[in-house]
Amino acid sequence: MARICLFPGTFDPVTLGHTDIINRALPLFDKLFIGIGRNSNKTAMFSESQRLTWLKEIYKEEPKIEVLAYDGLTVNCCKSIGADFILRGIRYVNDFEYEKAIADMNRSLAQNVETIFLTCLPEFTSVASTLVRDVIKNGGDVSQFLPYPVKNSISR
């Protein structure tokens, strides 16, 4: 049975923190879907198509990765793609408390879906999309936090 995983997020923008988690998760799964969750309560800085394009460009040489966008519950997306695992990255203890509550809810909704937590490498602990967006809004240089395709398109 194939180990299929969904890594959900907004990826607004995709950061080196995201790619760190994805790259280290690749050996664990046969297929890894990166899912951009549509959230009507959030207004993204970057369009969905831009975020999809970045992820597809970053992982164009990786056959185990597929990129998609989805509406609704993450566990329903898992069901539609046949994923039994959800991948989440953890930076701080606070992240774990929040993510565990979501994992518990997802487990209640879909008993067959297990959440896997990976901690980010120390050099990426401070790299959060929210902080990166704030730096961008205030004219700062975020290039050290971004994968090349993202950095390249933002700096134009």
The whole-number average pLDDT for the span 39-46 is 85
Dihedral angle, C-alpha 144, 146, 137, 40, nearest 10 °: -160
Which two tokens mark 29? 């799964």
**Proportion of the chain above pLDDT 70, given as a percent:** 99
156 pLDDT band, cuts 50/70/90, is: low
Residues 31, 64, 79, 91: which is the catalytic one?
Answer: 91
- Residue 22 above 90 pLDDT? yes
Return the pLDDT at 41: 80
42 catalytic? Reply is yes
91 catalytic? Reply is yes
122 pLDDT band, cuts 50/70/90, is: confident
Return the pLDDT at 95: 86
**What is the DSSP secondary structure assignment for residue 63, as one 8-state letter?**
T
68 pLDDT band, cuts 50/70/90, is: very high
Question: All domains of the chain, ordered by start, with CATH?
Answer: 4-154 (3.40.50.620)
Contact 87/25 with Cβ under 8 angstroms? yes
The whole-number average pLDDT for the span 19-34 is 97
18 catalytic? Reply is yes
Residues 3, 38, 42, 60: which is the catalytic one?
Answer: 42
The whole-number average pLDDT for the span 98-119 is 96
The whole-number average pLDDT for the span 126-146 is 91
